[in-house]
Structure 1
Amino acid sequence: MILRGFVAATALSLAVSAGAQEAATPITIGQSHILAMAGDDGARAINVFLPQGYENGEDDYPVLYLLDGGINQDFLHISGTAALNALWGRSQPAIIVGITSRDRRAELIGSAGNAQEREAFPTAGNAAAFRTFVRDKVKPLIEAEYRTNGTDVILGESLAGLFIVETWLTEPDLFDAYGAVNPSLWWGDQALARSARDGLGEGHSAARLLLSFSNEGPETQHAIEMVAEAAGDSACLLATPELTHATAYHILSPAVLQYLLPTEYEFEPEWGFTVPCAGQGAAE
């Protein structure tokens, strides 16, 4: 009886203590804006992650525009990597702007492709309109609402990397640096890569371009190498055949951010903070 009373009293005490605790508060990691794209069937979220110290300071910051930047896409991954990099001084603290994708095949592919690709990807070919949306709506919004310092870089993987290479070729001055992780340059029988090889003139902007490839087969690797060769000293090529298309982005993202947003820190060799560019455009 005594034991039963003790257990009941203890349970009541715990219940009262639990009830007295303050309610949990949400963890806020960013802000979100809603923008409509011309010709699109609805609005999309533009997600913003601010670097540590932004709210209580007056400094201006570079901006990293992230494709596939939805909450359920790559926004959390890249925002977390950027925060950790900044903590170590590996890359500059930056405003991360995640641009949500709705139909990646429509938004990120610039041409209809060959007959087989058109059948498999019937919505492909709307990248020019998406680029206009980024240039004329997203960038002006960010520049008006946040303290930016005029340095803009862009990052994406796979089809987003294809879009980034096309943007680097067609509007090279839109960003200061471009990061295309494992870009899908096999699309359209390597049309973008061949256009870079055959038509990149001397007047083309020297905006920095990071490219990478993993074990995705000789066709994709050859196309990426063609673009890197055409870019010359402007390019950094990360060759990681030991990685797969599914694993490369998470593993390479710290080095990619280091390349896109470099700092002046001198790192100890044992830290491993290097960007192992192959060939021209190598970076430490």
Structure 2
Amino acid sequence: MLWRMISIAARQQWAALVQRGIQRRADRQPSRGMLPVQIGYALPETREFAIQGPGGEHRIFVCVPPAPPPPEGYPMLFLLDANACFGTAVDALRLQAPWPEVSAVKPTVLVGIGYPGEAAFDSQRRSFDLAPAVRNPTWRSSLALGLPWNKPGGADAFLAFLSQTLIGELARRYPVNPADCHLCGLSLAGFFALYAMTQAPGTFRTYVGVSSALWWDDNRIAGDLEGLECQDNPSARVLVVVGSAEIPDNPAVCQMMCQQNRRAVEILNDRGYRAEYLELAGENHQSCITAAMPAILRFVSSRTMT
């Protein structure tokens, strides 16, 4: 498994080099009717900021919806691993928010929390930011972090950064409602979304975990969820999304992830929370966030309507 992780990382680095080489070659070609305008496709309704977090500099991407803000301010949906999924969320919002009577998606400010650079994931930075100190140190605990030199331990500081620093900075710049915030994460970030619910009740109104790596640290999150008291955040809602084919060539892992994510929803409902489980047929660990985005926006919107 370790060598497979290293092989995947090496393959991704090689693919990025090939990609850049192809683009440079295209840029050098003489113009014959098709003129270059700019490098990279821009989303004009978005802005990018830099801010210092506990583990280093972050890139913050903000998309304002195509509608005026409500009197109380826009709700905010925070998207972790934004380098990988922010564009998907923006496209889903811009297609659905203008027609809420059809899409059931209300105007929402999207806030992407990412990292400097062009890679979809910064595995070393995200491992530190999204994973707390290991409680049950085993070889399995390191697998969700991708590579052995990716270390956990910064989740509590990262959560404080989101709840104390970033929300306040956004409220200073945009007509948003700091009391109407929602959190969404993929894989290890999905684990972090549920971990945030156990550590800072009331910070977010909705917690969304997609293809969540709940098995990390010996499935510690199950015990943490069982310790929740609904009165700490009685209005919180949770959406847990998983693909039926998370790792297509490993049925045992698919079954394990579905079972653990389904069990998390059962625990939360037993504790008095409103939690929903969504299993997407045929979707895998890399495709699930894209397929789930319309449902995520609807779920968040249904929360902001009440």
The TM-score bracket by the shorter chain reads: 0.7 to 0.9
- The 3-state SS of whatever aligns with 1:155 is strand
1:251 aligns with 2:291: yes
Task: Give secondary structure in 2 for the equivalent of 1:123.
Answer: coil
1:92–1:263 CA contact under 8 A, matched in 2:
no
TM-fit CA distance, 1:152: 1.1
Distance 1:119 1:263 in 2: 35
Q: Secondary structure at the match of 2:214?
A: coil
Please name the residue that 1:83 is paired with.
94
Secondary structure of residue in 2 paired with 1:261: helix
| 1:33 matched residue in structure 2 | 49
| Structure 1 match to 2:206 | 177
The structure 2 residue matched to 1:137, chosen from 165, 169, 172, is 165
Instruction: Give the corresponding residue for 2:128.
Output: 106
**Is the contact between residue 195 and residue 221 of structure 2 (CA under 8 Å) also seen in structure 1?**
yes
* AA at the equivalent of 1:188: D
CA distance in structure 2 between the partners assigned to 1:108 and 1:249 by the alignment = 17
Inter-partner Cα distance in structure 2 for 1:132 and 1:200: 19
**What per-residue deviation string (whole Å, max 9, x for no partner) do you get for residues 45-81 of structure 1?**
1111111145xx78631111111123xx211111111
TM-score, scaled relative to structure 2? 0.70
Worse-superposed segment, 140-149 or 57-66: 57-66
Aligned to 1:115: 138
Distance verdict in 2 for CA 1:264–1:31, change over 3 Å:
closer
Q: 1:264 to 1:95 in 2, by over 3 A?
A: closer
- What CA deviation, in whole Å up to 9, does each residue of 1:150-197 have, x standing for no partner? 421111111111100001122120011111112110101111013323
Provide Cα deviations, 1:202-227, integer angstroms capped at 9, x if missing partner.
43423000002223423222221221
Pairing 1:260-271 to 2, within 5 Å after superposition = 260-262=300-302
Question: What is the CA–CA distance in structure 2 between the aligned matches of 1:264 and 1:137, rounded to whole Å?
Answer: 23
Aligned length: 238
Tell me which residue corresponds to 1:124: 152
| Residue 222 of structure 1 pairs with residue 259 of structure 2 | yes
What SS class does the counterpart of residue 110 from structure 2 fall into?
Answer: strand
1:263–1:188 Cα change, 3 Å? closer
Of 256-265 and 200-209, the range deviating more from structure 2 = 256-265
Cα separation, 2, equivalents of 1:263 and 1:44: 28
2:175 maps to 1:147: yes
Shift of 1:201: 2.8
In structure 2, C-alpha distance between the alignment counterparts of 1:82 and 1:155, rounded to whole Å: 15
Whether the aligned pair in 1 keeps the contact of 2:97 and 2:106 (CA below 8 Å) is yes
Q: Deviations over 1:114-144 (max 9, x none)?
A: 3204555441221111111111211111111
Equivalent pair of 1:200/1:230 in contact (CA under 8 Å): no
Per the alignment, residue 51 of structure 1 pairs with 65
> Does the 8 Å CA contact 1:196/1:226 hold for their aligned counterparts?
no
Name the CA distance, whole Å, in 2 between partners of 1:264 and 1:173. 15
CA distance in 1, matches of 2:128, 2:303: 36
Q: Does 1:62 align with 2:71?
A: no
The residue type equivalent to 1:159 in the other structure is L
Q: Which amino acid aligns with 2:89?
A: I
CA distance in structure 2 between the aligned counterparts of 1:69 and 1:234, rounded to whole angstroms: 26
Confirm or deny: 8 A CA contact 1:111 1:188 kept in the other structure: no
- Partner Cα separation in structure 1 for residue 65 and residue 204 of structure 2: 20
SS of match in other structure, 1:262: helix
Structure 2, unmatched stretches of 5+, are 1-32, 116-121, 247-253
1:24: how far off?
4.9
2 CA distance for matches of 1:75 and 1:240? Answer: 20
Q: Distance in 1 between matches of 2:65 and 2:277?
A: 28
Q: Whole-Å Cα distance in 2 between the matches of residues 97 and 65 of structure 1?
A: 5
Matched to 2:87, the amino acid is L
Please state how far the C-alpha of 1:257 moved relative to its aligned partner. 0.9
Using the TM superposition, give the Cα deviation of residue 148 of structure 1 relative to its aligned residue in structure 2, in angstroms: 0.8
Distance in 2 separating the partners of 1:111 and 1:237 = 27
